[in-house]
Amino acid sequence: MRSAFVIAFFLITCLAGAGCIGNSTPAKSTYSVGSNGVLSLSCAPETMNEVVLFSNETYTKSRVVFHTESGNVTGYLATPTVPKAAFVYAPGAGERLAGHEERMVRYASAGFAFFFIDTRGNGGETPGLPFGQQLIQQDFSKFGKGEMPQYYLSICDLVSAKKLLAEKYNTPVYATGSSNGGRYAAVAAGIDPEFAGYIGISTSDWGLLDSLNEQGVSGDPIRFAASIEPGTYIGKISPRPVLMYHNATDPIIPFASGEQLFGKAGAPKNFTEFSGDHGINPEVDTLIITQRA
Domain ranges of the chain: 4-292
Res 273 pLDDT > 60: yes
| Portion of the chain with pLDDT greater than 90, in percent | 87
Please provide the average confidence, as pLDDT, over all residues in the chain.
92
Handedness of CA 135, 257, 123, 167 (dihedral sign): negative
Average pLDDT score over residue span 243-249: 97
**Domain 4-292, second-level architecture:** 3-Layer(aba) Sandwich (3.40)
Half-sphere exposure of 274 (CA within 13 A, CB side): 24
> Exposed, middle or buried: residue 98 (CB in 10 Å: 0-12, 13-18, 19+)?
exposed
Query: Does residue 252 carry a pLDDT above 60?
Result: yes
Q: Where is pLDDT greater, at 160 or 6?
A: 160
- pLDDT attached to residue 11: 54
224 within 8 A of 145, measured Cβ to Cβ:
no
Q: Are the beta carbons of 243 and 288 closer than 8 angstroms? A: yes
- On the question of pLDDT at 8 being above 70, the answer is no
- The pTM of the full predicted model, rounded to 2 decimals, is 0.92
- Say what the pLDDT of residue 292 is: 85
Distance between alpha carbon 145 and the CA centroid of its chain, in Å?
Answer: 24
pLDDT at residue 206 in the model: 97
Q: Is the pLDDT of residue 4 over 80?
A: no
pLDDT over 80 (residue 241): yes
6 has pLDDT over 70: no
User: Radius of gyration over alpha carbons of the chain, in Å?
Assistant: 18
pLDDT at 278 over 70: yes
Task: Kindly list the strands in the beta sheet with 197-201, ordered across the sheet, starting from the edge strand earlier in the chain.
Answer: 47-55, 60-68, 71-79, 112-117, 85-90, 173-178, 197-201, 242-246, 269-273
Q: Could you read off the pLDDT of 191-239 as tens digits, one per residue?
A: 999 999 999 999 999 999 999 999 999 999 999 999 999 999 999 999 9
**Whether residue 120 has pLDDT greater than 80:** yes
Q: What is the mean pLDDT of residues 141-150?
A: 96
Bridge partners (DSSP) of residue 31 are 41
The predicted pLDDT at position 75 comes to 97
